[in-house]
Amino acid sequence: MLAVFPRMKMLHIILAAALMFEWSAVALANLEGEVSSLDNVHFEVAGDLVRIYYDLNAPLEQVHAVRVVLYRESDPAFAYRPVNLTGDVGTIVFPGAKRRIIWEFTKEFPEGLNGNDYYFVVEAEGLEPESSNLWWWVGGGAAVAAGVVVLLVAGGKSTGQVVIPPTVTFPVPPGRPTN
């Protein structure tokens, strides 16, 4: 049984090193400045709803702000930002395929829209973390990793004693009959 504990400590150290390696890979991917792109943008009308589909290609940890604009080919001055949108739209959208936005257009255009020359433009803007100072991220990550290593190495110690709290009994209130 005693031979197991040194192996567990070694396993803890290996896991902590793996966590640090994975974190550094994420930091390096952010440094490389991978570009976001939108692909396969299309829409369909179903009753009172317009469903807009798109693929947002970017690093998985990158948060985006996604907006939609409705344009009309026959009227270059027409540009409308829909309001009643749900789904993968707004200030916190993560990358992925088959993203969907649903617009209840009859709430904004009760009479509907005349014509068939409308199209949507989906805009996605990658959002930066609040602090872009790399050294704060590196220092904070190193501190967290060191704390994890300390907890994993020191946390496995046990004295073999179990402490059971004493049972508490409350006195009988005065003036009450006792049996």
- CATH number of 81's domain: 2.60.40
Q: Is 167 inside any structural domain?
A: no
> From the CB of residue 150, how many other CB atoms can be counted at a distance below 10 Å?
11
Q: Is 178 inside any structural domain?
A: no
Ranking 13-22, 33-42, 119-128 by mean pLDDT, the lowest is 13-22
Supply the range of the domain harboring residue 25. 1-33+129-158
Same domain, 113 and 135: no
> From the CB of residue 144, how many other CB atoms can be counted at a distance below 10 Å?
13
The tokens for 27 are 């930091």
Mean pLDDT, residues 37-46 taken together: 90
Integer-rounded Cα Rg, in Å, for the chain is 29
Same domain, 19 and 41: no
Report whether pLDDT(20) > 60: no
Q: Is 163 inside any structural domain?
A: no
Domain count along the chain: 2
Give the C-alpha separation, 94 to 126, whole Å: 10
Same domain, 48 and 115: yes
Ranking 11-25, 42-56, 135-149 by mean pLDDT, the lowest is 11-25
Q: Is 168 inside any structural domain?
A: no
Give residue 141's pLDDT: 76
Same domain, 66 and 101: yes
Asked which of 83, 102, 126 is the last residue of a domain, the reply is: 126
The tokens for 88 are 């993968």
Report whether pLDDT(30) > 80: no
Same domain, 48 and 101: yes
Same domain, 51 and 114: yes
Give the C-alpha separation, 161 to 143, whole Å: 32
Same domain, 70 and 117: yes
- If one compares 67 and 174, the residue with the highest pLDDT of the two is 67
Give the C-alpha separation, 9 to 155, whole Å: 10
Give residue 150's pLDDT: 65
Query: pLDDT digits over 58-67, tens only?
Result: 988 889 999 9
How sure is the predictor about 175, in pLDDT bands with cuts at 50, 70 and 90?
confident
Q: Is 177 inside any structural domain?
A: no
Same domain, 22 and 98: no
